[in-house]
Amino acid sequence: MLKIETRNAKPGMTLALPVQLPQSPSRLLLRVGFKLTAETINKLAQLRVRTLWVGYPSLSFLGEVVNQDTFSRQSAVAGQITKTFESVQKESSAKLPYHLYTRSISQLVRQLITHPQSAVFLGDLSDAGDSLMRHSSSVTYLSLLMGLKLEGYLVRERRHIDPARASEVVNLGLGAMLHDVGMTLLPEAVLEKYEATGDESDPAWREHAALGYRLIRGKVSATAASTVLHHHQHYNGTGFAGADFPVMRGKRIHIFPRIVTVADQFDRLRYPPDRPVQPTVWALRSMLEAPLFQRYDPQILDALLAVVPPYAPGSVVTLSDERTAVVIDHHPLRPCRPIVQLIPDASSLDGDDLPLGPILNLAEQSPRLYVAQCEGFEVGELNFERPAVLPQPEDAVSALSA
């Protein structure tokens, strides 16, 4: 399985993952096994589908990471987000099926627990479609991935309840799913201003957290509702929750909104409202540098690095010596130095299978050899080392594997 840009797709390539309709991620556009044609590729480009997963027998081992069932569960949650936001936009008093949301998130969590190899972020279900729906779907999935990695930390942060309950992440997922539902209640002019400028200082825009909280309060668990209210509260005491709610800091903020605010910021960096899509490695680097770093719980930033590879398995990259390779694994402690397998002949991407060369662990190679290009982005100057201010490696490993 290989992740390629749609513009580089060739007729005859076979889809290894389905393609969802960008405007409605629960609706299937193309099935697994579909052979691409020139006409189909052009149509996908018109729909702004930026990347595709195609199959090669020699890379079938990546199927453990790129899991079709996980993709299906993600799609179900994304579809419910779309329906929910559309319902609230039409009628703010619409009765929402919260029990169905809980069930879908529970199914996704079980899938991730059963297949831990697939519990990494490989990119969005769709790079197009409604920005609010795509963003909410991405934040939900990222929050669940981090929550599962932080099982031990969740138990320590929620000492007042039974450890088995403390480590449960379904309500985290529910809060993440609904974290921006208040945006659907904002005046159109406020939303248009934000989309044009990305300005988060607008008091009217900041009210979306409180609006969403009031909409769902009493209808979902208190932890899910507080996640909606506090998802813009920052660890260093900055941030907001609406004019009628105080600003909190540190561990006074529940662990769930602390997780969601990291997922929310990461995704907004990748898809800034006033600029084109940005590479994952740039978004991660920005999160780990001042001034953003001070806003977030270091344990949660560490979990972000564990579940979001700067260069995801299955991605085609160009190395600094101009060789082409496919990423086959990543190192959370050396995030920008993945394990890659060389593709001796880049033109072989057009064929039925992919002749592969030697495996290189970039963490063991000279610093002069690094990832220079990925998914159409020049990334050589964006690579970073794991910051020393994060938990020490041995602590990080134990916390993330608990």
CA dihedral 142, 145, 151, 152 (to 10 degrees): -70
Q: What is the mean pLDDT of the chain?
A: 91
How far apart, in whole angstroms, are the C-alpha atoms of residue 69 and residue 322?
Answer: 35
How many distinct structural domains can be found in the chain? 3
Q: Specify whether 301 is located in the same domain as 167.
A: yes
Q: Specify whether 292 is located in the same domain as 177.
A: yes
Q: Specify whether 18 is located in the same domain as 108.
A: no
Q: Specify whether 51 is located in the same domain as 94.
A: no
CATH of the domain at 49: 3.90.105.10
Query: What percentage of the chain exceeds 70 in pLDDT?
Result: 95
158 domain-assigned: yes
204 with 192: CB under 8 angstroms? no
pLDDT, tens digit, for every residue of 23-40?
A: 676 678 899 999 999 999
27 domain-assigned: yes
**For residue 320, is pLDDT > 80?**
yes
Q: What is the reported pLDDT for 27?
A: 77
389 domain-assigned: no
Provide the terminal-to-terminal Cα distance of the chain, rounded to the nearest Å: 30
Q: What is the reported pLDDT for 324?
A: 96
Q: What is the reported pLDDT for 79?
A: 87
Enter the DSSP assignment of 176: H
Q: What is the reported pLDDT for 25?
A: 65
Q: What is the reported pLDDT for 219?
A: 95
How far apart, in whole angstroms, are the C-alpha atoms of residue 81 and residue 78?
Answer: 5
Domain that holds residue 9: 2-55
pLDDT, tens digit, for every residue of 366-375?
A: 999 999 999 8
pTM of the model: 0.93
Q: Kindly indicate the confidence band of residue 129, based on its pLDDT and cuts at 50, 70 and 90.
A: low
Q: What is the reported pLDDT for 121?
A: 92
Q: Kindly indicate the confidence band of residue 401, based on its pLDDT and cuts at 50, 70 and 90.
A: very low
Q: What is the reported pLDDT for 26?
A: 66
131 domain-assigned: yes
Q: What is the reported pLDDT for 275?
A: 81
390 domain-assigned: no
Q: Kindly indicate the confidence band of residue 340, based on its pLDDT and cuts at 50, 70 and 90.
A: very high
Q: What is the reported pLDDT for 276?
A: 85
Number of Cβ within a 10 Å radius of residue 380 = 15
